[in-house]
Amino acid sequence: MHKLAEALEAEGLDVWIDDRIDYGTRWPLVIESAIDSCDSFILVASENSHASEWVQHEMARAKRLEKQIFPLLLNGNPWISFESTQYFDVRDQSLPNEKFFQALKNSENMRFAYFQSMVFDAWPVYCNDEYGFSVNYPGNGEFTKLENGIQIEMPVLQGTNLLYKSIMIHLKEDGILPNSLVKDFAWIDPPRYIDILGKRFLRESASEGGMSKVYECVSYSILREDKVIALSLNLTSFQPGVFIPGEVTIVDSEAQKEVLLYMVSSFTWLE
C-alpha cells in the first residue's frame, strides 16, 4: 500500500489511505468523508479484504456514489463484484503499469476541468500583472488587499461548529515554494506535489488544537522563475458543547477545503 501510495504521489496524484487517520478520530466518519470527496477509488483486493465487512461497505458506498473504481488484484481470485470490470493484476507484487497511472490522471483532469468550468463564469477574477497570473475566487467573501497579496474572509453558517474561514493569495519573489503560513502549525503533514491541469503545485496542510478549538490550513503553491504564488485556506472550528451548548451541525472540513481546489483549478499563467 505504501509503495503504491508513493508511486501515485510521484506521479503528481493526491492520495489518501486510511492508515493516516489520527488517533481519537471518529474513523468511520473520516472514511466516509474520504470516499465522498474522492474522485477515484482504488481497491487493493486480497483474500483478507474480500472477507472484510468494512471493505465491502466501502466498496458499496463508492459504487453508489458513482466513483471511478480502479481494482488491483493483490492475491487470490477476482471478486464477483468487480470481475466484470477491467482490473490490474499485481499478484507478482509489482506496481501497476503506466496505463493504470494514466487512467487515474485522466480521471483527475476531468474532475479539475469540471471545477474550472464551474467557476470561470460564476466567480470574479483576480488578475495580477506583476506576477503574471489570474485566478477566480468566491465573490461572497470580504475582499481585502494586503501588502503581499489578498485575503478573502468567507461567511460561515450559523448553528455550525465552524467559527472562521478565509482564503489568502500570498505573493513572494524568493523562489522558495514552501508556504510560511504552514510552518508554525503543531502538526504538519508531509508536503507533496500535485499536477492540476498541466501545472504542478506543492500541496501543504497542517493543523493544531487548543482550548477545544481546531485550526487547519491547506495551501497550494506554484512557481515561475523566482515568483511564488500560494493559494491558502484557513479554517477554525470548535468542539460542540464546549462554547455553545445544545445541538450544533458538524461541518465537514474536507468539503470546506474543496473550495480551494475550485480556485486552484482556475489558476492561469498570463502570457
Q: What is the tens place of the pLDDT at every residue in 111-138?
A: 899 999 999 999 999 999 999 999 999 9
Q: CB of 131 within 8 A of CB of 171? A: yes
Q: Which region among 88-92, 141-145, 212-216, 252-256 has the lowest average model confidence (pLDDT)?
A: 252-256
Rounded distance between C-alpha atoms, residue 63 and residue 133, angstroms: 38
CA 68 remoteness from chain centre: 16
Q: CB of 144 within 8 A of CB of 137? A: no
Report whether pLDDT(160) > 90: no
Report whether pLDDT(27) > 70: no
Q: CB of 220 within 8 A of CB of 203? A: yes
Q: Which region among 2-11, 20-29, 48-57, 255-264 has the lowest average model confidence (pLDDT)?
A: 20-29
pLDDT average, residue stretch 244-254: 72
Structural domains of the chain sorted by starting position, each given as residue range(s) with its CATH number in brackets: 2-96 (3.40.50.10140), 120-269 (3.40.1000.10)
Rounded distance between C-alpha atoms, residue 109 and residue 219, angstroms: 19
Q: What is the tens place of the pLDDT at every residue in 229-243?
A: 999 999 998 876 555
pLDDT of residue 241: 57
pLDDT average, residue stretch 88-111: 88
CA-based radius of gyration for the chain? 20
The three state secondary structure string of the chain is: CHHHHHHHHHCCCCCCCHHHCCCCCCHHHHHHHHHHHCCEEEEEECHHHHCCHHHHHHHHHHHHCCCEEEEEECCCCCCCCCCCCCCEECCCCCCCCHHHHHHHHHHHHHHHHHHHHHHHCCCCEEEECCCCEEEECCCCCEEEEECCEEEEECCCCCCECEEEEEEEEEEECCCCCCCCCCCCCCEECCCEEEEECCEEEEEEEEEEEECCEEEEEEEEEEEECCEEEEEEEEEEEECCCCCCCCCCECCCHHHHHHHHHHHHHCCEECC
Contacts 24+ apart (CB under 8 A), 110-117: 111/39, 112/196, 112/197, 112/261, 112/265, 113/197, 113/265, 115/261, 115/262, 115/265, 115/266, 116/197, 116/262, 116/265, 116/266
Report whether pLDDT(178) > 80: yes
Rounded distance between C-alpha atoms, residue 9 and residue 22, angstroms: 20
- Mean pLDDT of all residues in the chain? 86
Residue 228 pLDDT grade (very low, low, confident, very high; cuts 50, 70, 90)? very high
pLDDT of residue 234: 95
Higher pLDDT, 78 or 162: 162
Rounded distance between C-alpha atoms, residue 95 and residue 7, angstroms: 8
